[in-house]
Amino acid sequence: MNLQERDKVYCLAKTQSFSYRSNAEPNAFSQLFAKEKGRD
């Protein structure tokens, strides 16, 4: 392909084996901590 920096390309992404993780909501894991920040 003779690829060089600054060349324009298309990324062809296969996603059959993609992984994912749910991002924690701010209120997730409530009641886990003995003291939560700002709640002394």
Partner 1 sequence: MLLEMNVTLRRGNFRLTTDLSVQDESMGLIGRSGAGKSTVLGLLAGTLMPESGRIALDGKILFDNGKGIIVPREQRPIGSVLQYDQLPSGETVQDGLFASYERTLKQRRTLKPDRLIEFLDIGPLLTQPMGHLSTCERQRVLLAKALLKSPKLLLLDDPLATMGHFAHSVAPLLKRVQSELDLPLFYASHTLGNIVEFSDKAAVLDEGRIVRIGLINDLLQDPDLIQKIGLSQIENRMPALIVSHNTDNGCTLAQSYGIELVLPLRCDLPLGSWVTVGIPANDIALSRNYIYGISIQNQINGEICALIPRETGVLVQIDCGNVWLAGVTLKAL
Residues 1-40 that bind partner 1 (CB under 8 A): 1-24, 28-29, 31-37
| Integer Cα distance of 4 and 9 in angstroms | 10
Least distance from partner 1 to the Cβ atom of residue 33, Å: 6
Least distance from partner 1 to the Cβ atom of residue 18, Å: 5
Backbone angles phi, psi at 29, to 5 degrees: 60, 35
Least distance from partner 1 to the Cβ atom of residue 35, Å: 8
Q: 3: Cβ–Cβ under 8 A, 6 or more apart, which residues?
A: 9
Residue ranges that bind partner 1, judged by CB under 8 A: 1-24, 28-29, 31-37
